[in-house]
Amino acid sequence: MNSKRTTVDLLLIGAGPVGLYGAYYAGFRGLTVAVLDSLPQVGGQISALYPEKNIYDVAGFPAVRGQQLVDNLVAQAAPFEPVYVLGQEARSLRGEPGRMVVTTAEGSEIVAGAVIVTAGAGAASPRPLPCGEDFLERGLHYFVPRLSTFDHKDVVVVGGGDSAVDWALAAVDRARSVRLIHRRRQFRAHEHSVARLRASGCELVLDAQVAGISGTAAVDAVSVTVQGEAEPRKLPAQVVVAALGFIMRLGAIADWGFEIENRSIMVDSAMRTSVPGVFAAGDITAYDGKVKLIAVGFGEVALAVNNAAAALRPESGLAPGHSSDVTVLAAR
């Protein structure tokens, strides 16, 4: 038996908020579920780009931090024990409804009765810091799942967009020192955030770029080339966050036979795609009147899961019933 093979009723491709809510709903409908994502952690763009920012348009939450929303969604799905296949990109699809096989670029296989694509803007890969790849996860990070990583450390953040400024602001109250390096004097980030950064204890190193990272078991120095200085300046750093943005693409799923318009997958009112057995929900979908909001994606993935459940188990019907009547959730 292939040790890299996972067999479930339903596969969700994309572990952002919509995919995570889909994992809960699949469990609620009695389906086993796997969640596949090209990023090495759940949460999608929220965890990668703005985990510490408040989100204000999620029903029932006047305000919720991005990472808190992700953590809550993971906890909501946890009683149903979804299988997470992370850091792997979907490559090929074969089979037919009832037994579909998705193979990843890393060689894993997920066998599922149905598939729901919840990939947001598509597969994401961070823009690399060219001189630092040898130190990836050995001091160099493209996103930081837990802010405790910054505690009592010398932190260097590289970039000038919203995510870079957000990481620097998040580190200021926890780290021993924080420096932000940006190759320009002007920021792409929101003006209010930049004003907060300038008023904080973060040192801004502008018109500069990282020339190299040195260290052994962990990063202990960063060489920074500052425009106008004759020699590179070395800054202490145990944590380097390269917030240079992400490359978003549909990837191999663009060749699976979907009807695609403007990099979005067309779906019908049941969230079915043009490929039998494959549904889609969230920002990756398109239809007349589509609005790209997390709130909309939650509703779409509930539709997709219920229609997939009815297709896999016709005797169960489309209507899910009321969660308040299901005592197993409270018991768990």
More confident residue, 131 or 42: 42
For residues 212 and 273, state if they share a domain: no
Residue whose entry in the numeric block shows the structure tokens 């549904």: 279
Residue 174, Cβ density class (10 Å: 0-12 exposed, 13-18 middle, ≥19 buried): middle
Give 167's contacts (C-beta < 8 A, 6+ positions apart).
144, 157, 241, 243
* CATH, residue 228: 3.50.50.60
The pLDDT of 153-157, averaged and rounded, is 94
Residue whose entry in the numeric block shows the structure tokens 């490559």: 91
Q: How confident is the model at residue 215 (pLDDT cuts 50, 70, 90)?
A: confident
Q: What is the pLDDT of residues 231-246, one digit of tens each?
A: 788 888 989 999 998 7
Give the helix/strand (H/E) hosting 241.
strand 239-242
For residues 9 and 121, state if they share a domain: yes
Task: Count up the domains in the chain and report the number.
Answer: 2
Residue 56 counted as an annotated binding residue? no
Mapped to the 3 state alphabet, what secondary structure does 69-92 carry?
HHHHHHHHHHHHCCEEEECCCEEE
For residues 88 and 166, state if they share a domain: no
Residue 90 counted as an annotated binding residue? yes
Residue where one domain finishes, among candidates 244, 271, 302: 244
* Distance in angstroms (rounded) separating the CA atoms of residues 191 and 94: 48
Q: How confident is the model at residue 250 (pLDDT cuts 50, 70, 90)?
A: confident
Residue 238 counted as an annotated binding residue? no
The pLDDT of 283-297, averaged and rounded, is 95
Q: 74 lies in which domain range?
A: 5-125+247-331
Residue where one domain finishes, among candidates 221, 244, 267: 244
Residue 278 has pLDDT above 70, yes or no: yes
Residue where one domain finishes, among candidates 193, 226, 244: 244
Residue 166 counted as an annotated binding residue? no
For residues 290 and 240, state if they share a domain: no
Residue 324 counted as an annotated binding residue? yes
